[in-house]
C-alpha cells in the first residue's frame, strides 16, 4: 500500500492526464494528432487503475491495469491508425459543427456541469478516489460532445471511445473492487464495437469515396 500523500498526488496526476487529453482532442483537428492524444489518455487511464491497485494492494487490479494499458493505449489506437492509413486525403477534421474557441468554452461548461451533477455521488462516500469522480464525468461529457459535433466518422469514433474511457474511470473511482471478468467483458465489447465501426467506415469509403457525414447526407438527398 502506497503512502496516502503519494497516493493522492498520483491519483490527481492520472485524473489530470485524463482531463487534459480530452480537452486536447477538442482543440486539435488533425486526426493523427487526435489518435496520439487518445493513446496518451489510455496511458493515463491505465495509470489511474495502477494507482488504485497499489493503494488497495490488489493483484486483480494490477492485472486489469495491464489489460487497460494494452487495449486502450495499444490495440485501440493501432486500429484507429489502420483506419486513418486508408483514409487517403481525409486526414483532418476540416468542418466541425463547432469551432475551436466555442469547443473549448463548451469544455469549461461541461466541466462545471460534471462537478455539479457528481456532488451527490461524491458526498455518499467521501474519499480521495470519489473526489475525482467529476473528472471521469467530464471526460464522458466531452466525449459525447466530440461525438455529436464532429463530421468525420473517425473523429466520432474517438468521441465514442472517450466516453467509454470516462465511464471506465468513474467505475473504478466509485469502487476499486471492480471484478476482472467484468472489466474484460466491457473491454471486449468496446473492441468489438471498434472493429465493427472500422469495417463500416471502410465500406463507406469504398462505396462513397469519403466518410464526411454531411457529404453522405447530400448523396442520400
pLDDT digits (tens, 9 = 90+) for 6-43: 999 999 999 999 999 999 999 888 889 999 999 999 99
pLDDT value of residue 50: 92
pLDDT value of residue 151: 80
Helix-helix angle 76-85:153-174, to 10 degrees: 170
What is the spatial distance between Cα 39 and Cα 137, in angstroms, rounded to a whole number? 19
pLDDT value of residue 142: 96
pLDDT value of residue 12: 93
Q: Which residues contact 118 (CB under 8 A, 6 or more apart)?
A: 133, 134, 137
Q: Give the Cβ contact number of residue 68 at 10 Å.
A: 24
Number of structural domains (the chain) is 1
Secondary structure (3-state) at 93: coil
pLDDT value of residue 99: 86
Range of the domain at 26: 4-220
pLDDT value of residue 60: 80
3-state secondary structure the chain: CCCHHHHHHHHHHHHHHHHHHHHHHHHCCEHHHHHHHHHHHHHHHHHHHHHHHHHHCCHHHHHHHHHHHHHHHHHHHHHHHHHHHCCCCCCECCCCCCCHHHHHHHHHHHHHHHHHHHHHHHHHCCCCCHHHHHHHHHHHHHHHHHHHHCCEHHHHHHHHHHHHHHHHHHHHHHCCCCCHHHHHHHHHHHHHHHHHHHHHHHHHHHHHCCCEHHHHHHHHC
CB 44 within 8 A of CB 17: yes
pLDDT value of residue 93: 72
pLDDT value of residue 191: 63
pLDDT value of residue 105: 94
- 139 vs 81, 135, 162, CA distance in Å? 22, 6, 7
pLDDT value of residue 63: 83
pLDDT value of residue 42: 94
pLDDT value of residue 219: 43
pTM score, whole prediction: 0.83
Q: Which residues of the chain have pLDDT under 70?
A: 1-2, 87-90, 94, 176-221
Secondary structure (3-state) at 212: strand
Amino acid at each position: 500500500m502506497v503512502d496516502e500523500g503519494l497516493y493522492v498526488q498520483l491519483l490527481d496526476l492520472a485524473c489530470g492526464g485524463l482531463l487534459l487529453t480530452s480537452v486536447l482532442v477538442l482543440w486539435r483537428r488533425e486526426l493523427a494528432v487526435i489518435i496520439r492524444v487518445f493513446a496518451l489518455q489510455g496511458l493515463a487511464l491505465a495509470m489511474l487503475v495502477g494507482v488504485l491497485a497499489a493503494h488497495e494492494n490488489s493483484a486483480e487490479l494490477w492485472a486489469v491495469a495491464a489489460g487497460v494499458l494494452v487495449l486502450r493505449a495499444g490495440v485501440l489506437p493501432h486500429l484507429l491508425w489502420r483506419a486513418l492509413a486508408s483514409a487517403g486525403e481525409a486526414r483532418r477534421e476540416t468542418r466541425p459543427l463547432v469551432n475551436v474557441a466555442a469547443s473549448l468554452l463548451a469544455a469549461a461548461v461541461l466541466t462545471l456541469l460534471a462537478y455539479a451533477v457528481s456532488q451527490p455521488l461524491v458526498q455518499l462516500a467521501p474519499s480521495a478516489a470519489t473526489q475525482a469522480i467529476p473528472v471521469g464525468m467530464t471526460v464522458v461529457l466531452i466525449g459525447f460532445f466530440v461525438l455529436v459535433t464532429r463530421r468525420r466518422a473517425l473523429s466520432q469514433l474517438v468521441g465514442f471511445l472517450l466516453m467509454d474511457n470516462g465511464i471506465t474511470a468513474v467505475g473504478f473511482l466509485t469502487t476499486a473492487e471492480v471484478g476482472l471478468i467484468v472489466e474484460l467483458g466491457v473491454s471486449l465489447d468496446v473492441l468489438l464495437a471498434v472493429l465493427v465501426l472500422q469495417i463500416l467506415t471502410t465500406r463507406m469509403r469504398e462505396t462513397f469515396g469519403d466518410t464526411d457525414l454531411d457529404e453522405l447526407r447530400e448523396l442520400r438527398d
